[in-house]
Structure 1
Amino acid sequence: MLEISVIIPVYNAAEFLEKAVQSAVQFEEVKEIILIEDLSTDNSLEICEQLSTEIPKVKLFQHPDKGNHGAGASRNLGIEKAAGSFIAFLDADDHYLPNRFDAEKKLFKDPKIDGVFNAIGTEYLTEKGKEEFQSKFKEISLSTVNYPAEGEEVFKGLLSLSTKTFGTSFHLNSLTIRKASLEPHQIRFNKELRVHQDSDFIIKLAYHCHLKTGNITEAVAMRGVHDNNRITKIVKYSPQYNQRQFLLWQSLNQWAISNQIPAEPRKRIYLMYKSFDLSLKKGFIKYCTILGEVLKNPEILKTKYRFTYYNR
């Protein structure tokens, strides 16, 4: 039987936390639920303490300095504390469905598989959150990929290097990985990224490990959309959006260079990094720099870079 450690970073999630924890407790495969409380300003810590007292599977940790370090650092601490052979993640405002680990029980019988990912659904918890989400994104009832994939095809799909459109990627809530598979390359979340550390982690994981699709036609977890979701607060291609994307692709570009990954994905990552780097420049220097970069790398025009009014 699988022994899974579920890691939940907790920051100002008092309203949702108990539901998240209870959704993980139900599984026999879940050995422990690790709460990493990240200096919340609401009563999340009190709820964490109550849950860890009442439910034997729940273990509570804080950072050594009891400070706020972000979701990436919190998940890293959870990985270090995990005693299970497998690791799964859950956001504190989301929850698992009863079929969460059905695919894993079958697929992890193959020792070459390091990780399995599935589809997740969307649950609107507030009307304002629903309006904000739907104003920025098309209606997404299921976040999943478009076809079964494993190994190198997953990595290529995430970078849009596959001959087929990979889809809307996958969410951490749907991922289960062998803890031992993280260690050869010390795969961890980039704690310097306050957002997009999940995307950064998933792309690196897909390169170093053998990932495989599980259930990609039905949700195995639900993402909660509410008033305080950070994803709904940022206008696409606004300066703040471009800055966050720049930091993500800068992190991946540095990783690609240091790990000497193959030329095709390395170039793709560089072009994405450079496109958002250019988007942050202003005035005459910006357009001179864009021209120079396009002359060197015409493919940059095929990236997500946009000549928008935000960048003038």
Structure 2
Amino acid sequence: MKISVIIPVYNAEEYVSQAVESALQFEDVYEVILIEDKSPDNALEVCRKLEEKHDRVKLYQHPDKGNHGAGASRNLGMEKVTGDFVAFLDADDYYLPNRFDAERELFKNPEVEGVYGAIGVKYYSEKAREQYYPIYKDKLDTVYKKTRPEDVYQGLISLRGTFGLIHLDTLTLRRSSLSKMDRFFETSLRLHQDSEITIRLAYYLKLYTGINDKAIALRGVHENNRITKVDSGKINPAQTRVLLWRELNHWAENEKTVPDHVKLHIRRMLRSFEIAIAPPVKKWAMIGKYLITDYPSIRSGLFNINFRKNLF
């Protein structure tokens, strides 16, 4: 295997060396591509030293050397890869020694276009553990059971009940299969780009369950995580999810092959989060509006527990 690992780097001078070294432990890793995204700390200099030290490390910045977010940085990384397989890693996370064990076997089958596994949690300080343990605990995040590739995308959009998620750190893709995608990461989303793209990837590609009963990577939890601030309530999660479901709705409406019941579900989720962030006095006005303009999503929503939870 020749695996290209893409690492977007922002405000991660303390952690990026560990991330890079964790990828370089594998002979299968052909190259590590660092995309430095105008960090406010000393991450750029750390990345330069890593490039000087390791032949397999390649450092890039955006053409204007500006800050464009993780999605745009990963897109730039996708343009630079030369390996046969593509994997991702956040700069404050790291791979475990079993990261590619399942991939080596599964990718022998040419029909396998992607493999995903489980990610665990690493608390970088006692303060982080005290603050965020009630949210993350020590649980594994993954698709909880082996699932047929054709069913994965429905699980990711909550059409199959308790399902779990695919974390980018645990996802490996066959590069030749990516031609099925008309685009990669949605740059208009500063958060949830990973959720949005994994749903689309699961729709277009055959993604297989790898190791999902133990961690193959660890997600670093510290006080400056962007997603941690959302999960901890410092940012209203409903607001960010409106943007996520709005983007998915736009994709589904323009993708002719998406089944009608899937389009309806995505629209229902969008409506529920739109209503959730509305002031109480406006909620019923919005329900009335959508009863007129989008009756199917409201009608089906009343039978959906998540919709009712956001509604009331």
TM range (shorter): over 0.9
Matched with 1:299 is 300
Distance 1:139 1:152, change over 3 A: same
Preserved CA contact (<8 Å) 1:275 1:303: no
Matched with 2:19 is 20
Matched with 1:276 is 273
Matched with 1:173 is 169
Preserved CA contact (<8 Å) 1:272 1:303: no
Matched with 2:185 is 189
Preserved CA contact (<8 Å) 1:115 1:177: yes
What is the alpha-carbon distance in structure 2 between the residues aligned to residue 37 and residue 236 of structure 1?
26
Matched with 1:65 is 64
Distance 1:37 1:239, change over 3 A: closer
Preserved CA contact (<8 Å) 1:129 1:228: no
Preserved CA contact (<8 Å) 1:187 1:205: no
- Gapped regions of structure 2 (runs ≥ 5): none
Matched with 1:245 is 241
Distance 1:235 1:53, change over 3 A: closer
Matched with 2:250 is 254
Q: Which deviations, in whole Å up to 9, do the C-alpha atoms of 1:139-171 show, x marking residues without a partner?
A: 243112221013211111112222x631x3121
Distance 1:255 1:96, change over 3 A: same
- Gapped regions of structure 1 (runs ≥ 5): none
What is the alpha-carbon distance in structure 2 between the residues aligned to residue 268 and residue 237 of structure 1?
26
Aligned length: 306
Q: Secondary structure at the match of 1:39?
A: coil
Alignment partner for residue 144 of structure 1, among 123, 142, 145? 142
Alignment partner for residue 286 of structure 2, among 269, 289, 303? 289
Q: Which moved more, 1:226-235 or 1:253-262?
A: 226-235
Residue type of the alignment partner of 2:46: I
Matched with 2:159 is 161
Shift of 1:174: 0.2
What is the alpha-carbon distance in structure 1 between the residues aligned to residue 157 and residue 218 of structure 2?
25
How high is the TM-score relative to the length of structure 1? 0.92
Q: Which moved more, 1:153-162 or 1:96-105?
A: 153-162
Shift of 1:5: 0.3
Preserved CA contact (<8 Å) 2:268 2:307: no
What is the alpha-carbon distance in structure 1 between the residues aligned to residue 231 and residue 28 of structure 2?
40
Distance 1:44 1:238, change over 3 A: closer
Q: Secondary structure at the match of 1:299?
A: helix
Q: Secondary structure at the match of 2:122?
A: strand
Distance 1:243 1:147, change over 3 A: same
Alignment partner for residue 217 of structure 1, among 208, 213, 216? 213
What is the alpha-carbon distance in structure 1 between the residues aligned to residue 193 and residue 26 of structure 2?
27
Percent sequence identity is: 48
Shift of 1:307: 6.4
